[in-house]
Amino acid sequence: MQKWEYKLTVSEIDEETSLREYLQKQLLIPKHLIFALRTNERVLVNNKYLPMNFAIKAGDKIHLTFVEDDFSLPVQNLIPDDSIKPDILYEDADLLVVNKPRGFKTHPNQPGETNTLLNFCEAYLNKTNQHAFMIHRLDQFTSGAIIVGKNPAVVPILVRLIKDKVIHRNYLAWTDGIITPPTGTIEKPIGFDPDDKRKRKIDGVKPLQAKTDYMVQSTTEDHSLVELSLHTGRTHQLRVHLASIGHPILGDPLYNPNSDNDDMLLHSWKLTLIRPYYMDQIEIKSPLPDSFKTFM
């Protein structure tokens, strides 16, 4: 049975912080995993098992041990596909940041499906008896930095950090026209398009609030290079928001059907990563694809 261990040193905290509060609020470990650690005495403070309400202090040594039985999905059912080697921007014992190529899906949707980014990562990780775990996704025609988990112990924490926007993702896109003003916020609800199940629509069916910040980086005679930052994570959010202000992304097959560009020019450019358990910050950038550079 596989296990995953973390040896941590408590940083500056409130003197009244209990071990349970530290695990739950500082490390963002879900309650069911804290229960498993407590029940099986697999959380040690300074090499001793202590009750969860025990007060800890800065400098204390915490040792956590997770095992496969702690997780409902200790291994995801992915078929390894070694036809493409992942372009790895960052790797540690817990996760990968991969430069996703345009045109490939993030994950399989059907049983037996291969040729997706996660299938490629599964083949890469199987060589060291590890597995790929989905954390978030990029659209098929979006390129750039994406996080892939290497064990189930980090998955809920990474998902939470992305949901709470503690992990920041910045995108670059080339759009039609000159965007004015050059900085701003698009705040429009996005729902399903009743006329096309592939698409989303401003004020569509079952709309959810969506917010995007933008900043124009440069312009040509007819186009804008814009940096985008998400406050929410709705499906196709950047594509729908830019189209809604009259500046759809070049090459977008759904929201800019008249574009004469072959590639959709949307790229996950910069990722401000928070590493689970250690909670330190790393900034990772993904190099721009050649299709971007031709406009610059």
Q: Which residues are catalytic?
A: 139
Q: Which residues contact 228 (CB under 8 A, 6 or more apart)?
A: 170, 171, 172, 173, 212, 213, 214, 238, 242
13 phi/psi in degrees, rounded to 5: -140, 170
Bridge partners for 216 per DSSP? 226
Cα 22 to Cα 47, 90, 160, 279, distances in angstroms: 17, 28, 16, 12
| Of 26, 22, 50, residue with least CA distance to 38 | 50
**CA 273/CA 12 separation, integer angstroms:** 21
- Using H for helix, E for strand and C for coil, what is the string for 18-69? EHHHHHHHHCCCCHHHHHHHHHCCCEEECCECCCCCCECCCCCEEEEEEEHH
Q: Give Dmax (Cα) for the chain.
A: 67
Bridge partners for 55 per DSSP? 18
Bridge partners for 174 per DSSP? 225
**CA 107/CA 104 separation, integer angstroms:** 9
Assign 3-state DSSP to the chain and report helix, strand, coil percentages, each to 5: 15, 30, 50
Q: How many residues does the chain have?
A: 296
**CA 53/CA 43 separation, integer angstroms:** 13
